[in-house]
Amino acid sequence: MLNRLLPCLLMLSLLSPLTAAHASVSIEYMLATINAGGYVSKDDVTVARFRSLLNQLSTTFVEDEQQIGDISVKVQNLLKQDGIQESLINIMEGMNQLFFRKIDNQKYATYTAIYLTMRNKGSSHTEAIRAIQAILRGLGAQ
Q: Residues 115, 128: contact at Cβ < 8 Å?
A: yes
Alpha carbon separation from 24 to 28, 35, 94 (Å, rounded): 12, 19, 28
- pLDDT tens, position by position, 1-27: 444 544 444 444 444 445 444 458 899
Enter the pTM of the model: 0.82
Report the range out of 16-25, 87-96, 133-142 with the highest average pLDDT.
87-96
Report, as an integer, the average pLDDT of 95-100. 92
Rounding to the nearest 10 degrees, give the CA dihedral for residues 33, 15, 88, 126: 180
> Residue 102 — very low, low, confident or very high, per pLDDT cuts 50/70/90?
confident
pLDDT in tens, 107-133: 999 999 999 999 999 999 999 999 999
Give the mean pLDDT of 63-73.
Answer: 97
Q: What is the mean pLDDT of residues 85-96?
A: 97
Domain boundaries, the chain: 2-14+21-138
Say which residue, 141 or 103, is predicted with more confidence. Answer: 103
> Are 56 and 96 spatial neighbours (Cβ–Cβ below 8 Å)?
yes
